[in-house]
Amino acid sequence: GGTLVRTRVAEVSRVGRNTQGVTLIRTTEDEKVVGLQRIDEPDEDDIIEDAEITEVENTETPAADSEQGDSSEE
């Protein structure tokens, strides 16, 4: 297991940045930070607004499902 922390820059207080720094996460003695990744906000061009939703017909038949169920029970 592990902990994932996501924080926006706008959510970090400006107070303390120039003097003592800002603590984003505190770890226990047996924990350590193993990675850090900067994730840029998506551009407006990357965001799809009012996307068209297309319905896809289910091609599986109940008979095919029951045959699979019979073979898995053997």
What is the per-residue pLDDT for 53?
62
pTM of the full predicted structure?
A: 0.38
Q: Which of 51, 48, 69 is nearest to 60 (CA)?
A: 69
Domain residue limits, the chain: 1-39
pLDDT one digit per residue (tens) for the chain, 74 residues: 788 888 888 888 777 656 777 788 888 899 888 888 888 877 777 666 656 666 777 667 665 444 545 544 44
Q: Which of 21, 18, 23 is nearest to 7 (CA)?
A: 23
What is the per-residue pLDDT for 51?
61
What is the per-residue pLDDT for 74?
45
CA-to-CA distance for 13 and 16, rounded, in angstroms? Answer: 7
